Amino acid sequence: MSALTISGLNKSFGGLHVTRGVDLDVQPGERRLIIGPNGAGKTTLFNLITGELTPDTGSVSLFGQDITKTPSRDRPHLGMARTYQIITLFGKDTIIHNVRLALLGLSPMRWNPWTNLRRDDRFTEAGHKALARVGLSHIADRPLSQTSYGERRRVEIAMALAQEPKVLLLDEPFAGLSIDERRDVHKCLMAIPRDVTIVMIEHNMDVALEFAERITLLHFGEVIVEGNRAEVVNDPRTREVYLGH
C-alpha cells in the first residue's frame, strides 16, 4: 500500500491552470523530492495534499484512505504534517512553547480554555523530545526571537515531528540557510526514521539530490519527468526547464 497517492489532480484559479492531471505515488519510507522552476505549482500541490486548497478534480489518498474531502484540520490526526516555505512561528514565545502549541493542536485539550501548557508536563516532555531530534533541546527555553534563521527552520521541523506523522511534507527546508545551517538541517532530516515518509520541495539541488531517492519534476503544473536521481538529472527535459544547461 502506498503512503501517498495522488490521482489526476487538477486545480485552476480562473483561467490559470496551476496543476494539470498530477499523478504521484509515494511508497512508505520513501524520500521523494519535488522540483521545478518558480511557478511550476509545487507549493500549490502541497496545499492540495494537506487540504488547504480543494482540487477541481482528482483525489488524494493517505495509506489507501481517500482524504480528498477531509478538512485540513483533520489531516494531522490521520498522520500528515508539514512545514512551510515561509516560517510562521510565535517569535515572542520560547522555542519549547512553540512546540507545545503544535502538540496541543492534536490533543483533545485544545478545546479546554483553561489548559495551561507550561504546567502540563506531558506537553513539555514531548516537546523536549522533539527538540532533541533536531539538536535544539539545550536552548528550549530561549525566546524564538533570539534564534538564528536556521534554528527556526529546525524548530519548525521539530513541531512537525512532535505530531508523530506518518507522512511529512517539507516545503523548502533549506531555503535561506547558510552552509553550516544547511548541514545542521540535513543532519536532522537524515536522522528521521524510515517509518516516516518524506516528500520535500527544494531548490538547493546539492543537498536535495543527496537526500532524495525518487524525484518528480513539475513544469507549468504538470509532471514531465519522474524517476531516480540519475534518470531525472540526465533527462534532457530536466536540463531544459530546470537545470538550465
Which pLDDT does position 210 carry in this prediction? 84
- Residue owning grid cell 552552509: 179
- Mean pLDDT for back-to-back runs of 10 residues, the chain (245 residues): 96 92 97 92 95 96 97 93 81 88 66 52 85 93 92 92 94 89 89 95 80 92 93 90 67
Dump pLDDT digits (tens) for 11-53: 999 888 999 999 999 999 999 999 998 889 999 999 999 999 9
DSSP secondary structure of 39-101? TSSHHHHHHHHHTSS--SEEEEEETTEE-TTS-GGGGGGGTEEE--SS----TTSBHHHHHHH
Gap between the Cα atoms of 116 and 235, Å rounded: 54
Domain locations in the chain as residue ranges: 1-79+165-245, 90-164
Which pLDDT does position 120 carry in this prediction? 58
Which pLDDT does position 59 carry in this prediction? 97
**CATH superfamily membership of 1-79+165-245:** P-loop containing nucleotide triphosphate hydrolases (3.40.50.300)
